[in-house]
Amino acid sequence: MFWNIICLKFSMEQFTLDKDINVFYIMAKSFPDGIKEAHETLHSLVPFAVGRRFFGISRPEKGVITYKAAAEEMYDGEAEKLNLQTFIIKSGEYTFEKIFDFHKNLNSFDETFKKLLTHPDIDAKGYCVEWYLNDKDVICMVRLENKY
């Protein structure tokens, strides 16, 4: 049911994220090799649960891609209780593509983000965001520049 509500906001290859999403995260030790370990560590602290969203957040920092395995903060102070750092996924317009059954083709992330990053209105200060819908499907998305 949650997914059906989200789908109503999608049109073509763009959608609007109406509100910021506060997350806490585990930083991967390396990219791409440390991604799996970062998610495993996160899920050992916070297992999948109905209503909690999970993400992967990446971008180049000083010539090296950093990656955060992230979970939505469900109440104020949850990150502090877990002794984790926080991050805000900003509201706004995003371009996206959905990957079905991503475990069967992990290279699809690289291909998908390369495609999304060719959009002419990319937010130069934005991030590549993986929004995990379940254990098989993910939305890869990149924020667009605010033109207002």
* Cα–Cα distance, 125 to 103 (Å, whole number): 29
pLDDT band at 147 (very low <50, low <70, confident <90, very high): low
* Cα–Cα distance, 50 to 44 (Å, whole number): 16
Neighbours of 137 (CB within 10 A): 14
pTM: 0.87
pLDDT band at 2 (very low <50, low <70, confident <90, very high): very low
Neighbours of 53 (CB within 10 A): 16
Neighbours of 77 (CB within 10 A): 8
CATH second-level architecture of 2-143?
Alpha-Beta Barrel (3.20)
pLDDT band at 66 (very low <50, low <70, confident <90, very high): very high
SS3 136: coil
pLDDT, position 49: 81
Residue 137 has pLDDT above 80, yes or no: yes
User: What does DSSP assign to residue 50?
Assistant: T
Residue ranges covered by each domain of the chain = 2-143
DSSP 3-45: HHHHHTTEETTEEEE-S-EEEEEEE-SSTTTTHHHHHHHHHHH
Please name the residue that has the structure tokens 């297992």: 47
Residue 84 has pLDDT above 90, yes or no: yes
Whether 119 and 142 have beta carbons less than 8 Å apart is answered as yes
Range from 1-5, 34-38, 65-69, 134-138 carrying the lowest mean pLDDT: 1-5
- When the pLDDT of each residue in the chain is averaged and rounded to a whole number, the result is 89
**Residues 20-37, mean pLDDT to the nearest whole number:** 96
Neighbours of 27 (CB within 10 A): 15
